[in-house]
Amino acid sequence: MNDPVPAPSATGYFLPATIAEAGDLFLRHKGGARLLAGGQTLIPELDRPGRPADTLIDLRRIAELGRIDWSSGRVDIGAMVTIAAAQSGLAEAFPVIAACFAHVANSAVRNRATLGGSLALADPASEISTFLLAYDAEVTLIGGERISVEQLIAGRGDGPFINTIRLPLPAARERSGFAEILRRRSGGRSLAMALVRLDAERARLTVSGGACQPFRIEAAEGPALLDALVARSSIFDGHSTRAWALAAARRALATAELPC
Ligand SMILES: Cc1cc2nc3c(=O)[nH]c(=O)nc-3n(C[C@H](O)[C@H](O)[C@H](O)COP(=O)(O)OP(=O)(O)OC[C@H]3O[C@@H](n4cnc5c(N)ncnc54)[C@H](O)[C@@H]3O)c2cc1C
């Protein structure tokens, strides 16, 4: 079902072809409308009691939302770009993305789930959020407002309509590493994950996972990140959670420090 657009009280399924059309539908059905991206989380949710969806706005026909646009010093990624497409399309500029996104579920999920859908879930233990936080991503909303990924994740619940995700490009000589500690070797819940970025001027560590809310630390050089992490122990809720975060950080740092 697409046109004509029904009255705001109507229920239904819409397949808009443009961002403008989708934005208009979203506004008209504010509150009862759910945006449908890859459907990996939303479709199973529709059968469960809880949050109903009076109206579904399916974004899959909107070509603009599936684009990756490179420009000087940055890349803009459409909200409908899948995890798999981002993993391959961004690998040259962000080599760590291969290891980081490989931890997301399985290839079936990665080929359908989108960056916009993942971010909208605001899951602090997500590899997608961790990567985007580590690279200082900004989110452009339908309507043009720009907010940081941190702001988006902090505002859980009914979120805004995400248009694109903007990433500043890292320095060409930057080195990076990612590591994740899982409850079991395969399919386990994430206990902690860490992404380290090292360049000539500074070292940066982003930690998240089941152990704590995501946070970032900066230091002058790699090993100092671990000292800084130990010093922040009050943010963990126990010895084990701190140990998992430290283990993830150590592994990520070791990967980043490997000779090129
Ligand atoms: C079996 C399984 C394993 C998984 N494992 C992992 C994992 O290891 N790590 C991980 O990070 N994730 C994991 N996920 C989560 C997966 O990444 C999410 O299901 C997926 O990212 C949601 O994206 P989607 O495109 O399918 O969104 P949908 O399911 O279509 O939508 C999810 C939510 O986002 C909203 N939404 C969609 N697009 C937008 C938009 N443009 N703007 C605003 N809101 C929007 C929807 O309304 C809905 O509320 C797993 C999922 C499954 C099913």
* Residue pLDDT, tens place only, 240-253: 888 999 999 999 99
> In this predicted structure, what is the pLDDT of residue 6?
43
**Mean pLDDT across the stretch 191-198?**
95
12-58 carries CATH number 3.40.50.2020: no
> In this predicted structure, what is the pLDDT of residue 5?
45
Q: Which two tokens stand for residue 60?
A: 């899959």
Band of residue 139 on the pLDDT scale cut at 50, 70, 90? very high
The answer to whether the CB of 34 is under 6 A from ligand 1 is yes
Per the DSSP assignment, residues forming a β-bridge with 168 are 74
* CATH no. for 63-168: 3.30.465.10
Q: Is the pLDDT of residue 198 over 90?
A: yes
pLDDT (tens digit per residue) in 69-124: 999 999 999 999 999 999 999 999 999 999 999 999 999 999 999 999 999 998 87
Pocket test for ligand 1, best of 18, 30, 35 (most atoms within 8 A of CB): 35
**Mean pLDDT across the stretch 6-30?**
82
Pocket test for ligand 1, best of 121, 133, 186 (most atoms within 8 A of CB): 121
How far, CA to CA in Å, does 218 sit from each of 10, 103, 224? Answer: 51, 25, 9
Q: What percent of the chain has pLDDT over 70?
A: 90
> In this predicted structure, what is the pLDDT of residue 220?
95
> Is 215:228 a contact under the CB 8 Å cutoff?
no
The answer to whether the CB of 229 is under 6 A from ligand 1 is no
**Mean pLDDT across the stretch 178-200?**
85
> In this predicted structure, what is the pLDDT of residue 260?
62
Q: Is the pLDDT of residue 1 over 70?
A: no
Q: Are strands 138-141 and 162-168 parallel, antiparallel or unpaired?
A: antiparallel
One CATH from 3.30.300, 3.30.390, 3.30.70, 3.40.630 for 175-256? 3.30.390
**Mean pLDDT across the stretch 202-210?**
90
Any idea where the domains of the chain sit in the sequence?
Answer: 12-58, 63-168, 175-256
Q: What is the full DSSP assignment across 52-83?
A: --SEEEE-TT-GGGG-EEEETTEEEEETT-BH
Distance in Å, CA 36 to ligand 1 centroid: 10
